[in-house]
Chain A
Amino acid sequence: MTNRHLVSAVFCALLTGGVALAQENDPWSRFQLNADEIPKQTPWTEAASLSFVSGEGESSTDIDIAARYDWQIARDETSTVFVRGVAHVNDRAKSEEEVYKLSAGYHFEFGGASPAQSFGYSDLTLSYQQNTVFADLTSDPCVQSPGAVFCRDQEETRVIGAFATAFIPSGWESATPVLYPDSDGGYTFVEGSPDLLFSVSPVVSVFYDEVLDAATDPGTGLKIDGSAAGTTLTLGAYLSPRVLDYRVEFKASFKQMVAFSRDASRKPGFPANADLFTASLDYNLGKPSLLDDTGWRPAIGLSYSSGRDPLTGRKEKEETVLAFKLTHKAGK
């Protein structure tokens, strides 16, 4: 069984396990499943996904999952400690990505009960990450020495420490749609529903990344390890107009990474600056996701991403995908 099969099996188990755990309503622990590692699940956070695409002469697997379990540290505290498992796997040609991460961390929040107050969520995390460095068989070193170690896919391991804060300023989000039960057992919109649902929030993080076991670099033939430290700023946004009963959803995020310290050995592979932009436009064929976000949900969507993320090993690439999406969300 390959890592990908194992992760697919775990994904399915977690999806059903998530239902069971949520229904238990255990007051001391919480379980969350999504695709991102930010301290707070927001409307622009992508849902966990597992997709198999079969085309002419090529099929591919794409997995994005971050499963997290929290424990309350004391009865009179809202802070928690957590463990998290992350997998980003994509075996589509020229977009290959394989990252597994295991994290432990401390979560706390700040802010008030009043909507007039800003709100924030912070995670202090230590992670062990394994990612695959895929060989480029068309590169000059591989053409000259096809049997070299760097012409095979290589494993790289690293330790990453990070402190991340998701901040939601007062007034940077709308209210949810306002509904009232009708006589047919459904719901109707009543006064107070916003014309535009929106949520905008920044996530700031500081990180330290140490390569423990590096892949062999094709250019130098050396294993390039060492450390890098820096900061990232992610700005995420979610928009959904009231027309079509909020069925059209736009999500976008822009992540800018700036490294303020890099060992000389890391400089060729870890840039001083990197950015990653993702956006998606979805039309929900069933109920709007904000009105009924559990169970199976079909949608047609256009997704775009551009850029690189040295922390996850994502290479520079630009992708546009138009797809029929069928997602399942666990929950009560």
Chain B
Amino acid sequence: MPTSKIVRTSIEAASPRTIKVLAVMTTEALFFAGLNARTARDLVKYPPIDSEPIRNMGIPLSTGADRIRIWINNDFRVPAKMKKLVSGEVTPKTTYSALKTLAGIK
């Protein structure tokens, strides 16, 4: 049986709770991968801890926080019908944990 069919069959057979868990895991994985693509630090090799500010991860000096804010708006908040974040709501001092919360990931 092809892999795609196995995945589709497994998802169709999964309970609503499992689907929710999968959705959260997928969103969190997309968040992590997206952040990793926007930082100079290899977040797989040096994983972020919740309390550290995003400036530790090597983001563009002036615009890094704003670029991350726009990405969170476009990829997480607008699809979830949350209000857009404005300039200053994500700063280089924003922690990894706070950033996840802003992206709607609990």
User: Chain A interface (Cβ within 8 Å of chain B)?
Assistant: 27, 30, 32, 40, 42-43, 70, 72, 75-80, 107, 109, 111-115, 119, 121, 168, 173-181, 187, 190-194, 197-199, 201, 238, 290, 293-294, 331-332
Question: Contact at A43–B87, with CB atoms within 8 Å?
Answer: no
- Also in contact, A290 and B55, with CB within 8 A (given A176-B92, A190-B46): yes
Question: Measured between alpha carbons, how far is A119 from B69 in the docked complex, in Å?
Answer: 13
Cα A294 to Cα B92 with chains together (Å):
12
- What A residues does B38 contact at CB under 8 A? 113, 115
Residues A175 and B87 in contact, CB atoms below 8 Å apart: no
Contact in complex: B41, A190 (CB < 8 Å): yes
Q: Which residues of B contact A119 (CB under 8 A)?
A: 62-63, 66-67
**A114 nearest CB neighbor, chain B only:** B67
Q: Is the CB of B66 within 8 A of A109?
A: yes
On chain B, which size bracket covers the interface?
Answer: 35 or more
Q: Give B70's nearest chain A residue, CB to CB.
A: A113
Check if B16 is an interface residue, CB within 8 A of chain A.
no
Q: Which of A30, A76, A121, A192 contacts B41 (CB 8 A)?
A: A192
Contact B63 A178 (CB under 8 A): no
Question: Would you give the shortest CB distance from B49 to chain A, in whole angstroms?
Answer: 6
> For the complex, would chain B's binding face be called helix, strand, loop or mixed by DSSP majority?
loop
Residues of B within 8 A of A332 (CB): 93
Cα–Cα distance between A111 and B62 once the two chains are bound (Å): 13
A40 to B60, Cβ gap below 8 A?
no
Contact partners of A107 in chain B: CB under 8 A: 87
Judge whether A78 and B73 touch: CB under 8 Å: yes
Interface pair A43/B62, CB less than 8 Å apart: yes
Q: Which residue of chain A lies nearest to B68 when distances are taken between CB atoms in the complex?
A: A113
B6 within 8 A of A: no
A173 to B67, CA, bound (A): 13
Query: In the complex, A332→B56 CA distance in Å?
Result: 15
B84 within 8 A of partner (CB): yes
Query: Do residues A27 and B61 form an inter-chain contact, with CB atoms below 8 A?
Result: no
Q: 27 A-B contacts, Cβ less than 8 Å apart?
A: A42-B62, A43-B62, A72-B84, A111-B66, A112-B70, A113-B38, A113-B70, A113-B71, A173-B60, A173-B61, A174-B61, A175-B60, A175-B61, A176-B40, A176-B58, A177-B56, A178-B39, A178-B41, A180-B41, A190-B41, A190-B46, A194-B40, A197-B61, A199-B61, A238-B61, A331-B91, A332-B93
Q: Closest approach, in angstroms, between the C-beta of A251 and any C-beta of chain B?
A: 13
Measured CB to CB, the nearest residue on chain A to B59 is A176
**When the two chains form their complex, are residues B41 and A70 in contact, meaning their CB atoms are under 8 A apart?**
no
Question: How far is A178 from B53 in the complex, measured between Cα atoms in Å?
Answer: 11
Given A181-B49, A190-B46, A76 and B83 contact (CB-CB distance below 8 Å): yes
